[in-house]
Amino acid sequence: MTFAEFFLAMASDDGRRCARITVETATFVPRDLDYPAFEGEVCRLVTRAAGASVEEFSVASFVGGLFDIQRRHRIVGASAFVMAIVALLVFEGTAKSVGGAVDFGSEAVPFVMHALGERMEAGRAVALAVVQAALTD
């Protein structure tokens, strides 16, 4: 799972998928995690973000909420995932300093879809090579 998949799920108001990706990419998940409670909190956060207008949405608020949920549930996020979120924060700050509101949904989703498509094509190429190698042996 990648941050791109998380972002797409967030933009699509799919909090359940965001919760699953958060747990699957984490470096630590407690054995006694109350997953339904965790998932419910992530779903509520994602729904608020997905329903926000461009002017209302704040990456910093969303990220702060996500990190707070992870902290309360003792989930430690993977550094690559966390760094992608930090990069988005930096982008938001830069965009706001230049001026104007940034509509992350309409601006970023096409790039995310393109990146996911390339990754899926690469995965298919690897699978095809494995199958072809198995057939020639």
The domain limits of the chain are: 3-136
| 89 contacts 60 by C-beta, under 8 angstroms | yes
| Rounded distance between C-alpha atoms, residue 23 and residue 6, angstroms | 11
Least confident of 11-25, 65-79, 98-112, 122-136: 122-136
| 6 contacts 21 by C-beta, under 8 angstroms | yes
Does residue 23 register a pLDDT over 70? yes
| Rounded distance between C-alpha atoms, residue 76 and residue 67, angstroms | 9
The percentage of the chain sitting over the pLDDT mark of 90, rounded to a whole number, equals 36
What pLDDT score was predicted for residue 126? 46
What pLDDT score was predicted for residue 127? 47
Residue 95 or residue 136, greater confidence: 95
Cα dihedral across residues 89, 95, 97, 102: positive or negative: negative
pTM of the shown model: 0.69
Residue 12 in tokens = 């699509």
pLDDT band with cut points at 50, 70 and 90 for residue 133? low
The percentage of the chain sitting over the pLDDT mark of 70, rounded to a whole number, equals 67
